[in-house]
Amino acid sequence: MNEAVFSQIAMLVLLTGLIIWMGFIVWDLAKKSQAGRFGTIALFTVLGAGVVGFIVKTVMVEVMQL
């Protein structure tokens, strides 16, 4: 396994872990601040939009490189 393959795999694994960790942080924040159902949905919608934007950007870069 060369360095480029290792870097690609490590980035995917660590970014997935980071996204899951951020989800846990948002869940804990919503719970501790008693945000309610609407507030929790709003927090996760904003976090989800950022994650979706990152994934769309990654897919578009890969498609354009073909």
This model's pTM is above 0.95: no
The DSSP 8-state label assigned to residue 26 in this structure reads H
pLDDT, tens only, 8-58: 899 889 989 998 999 999 999 999 999 999 999 999 999 889 889 988 998
Residue 9, Cβ neighbours under 10 Å: how many? Answer: 11
Q: What residue spans define the domains of the chain?
A: 3-65
Nearest-angstrom CA–CA distance, 51 and 48: 5
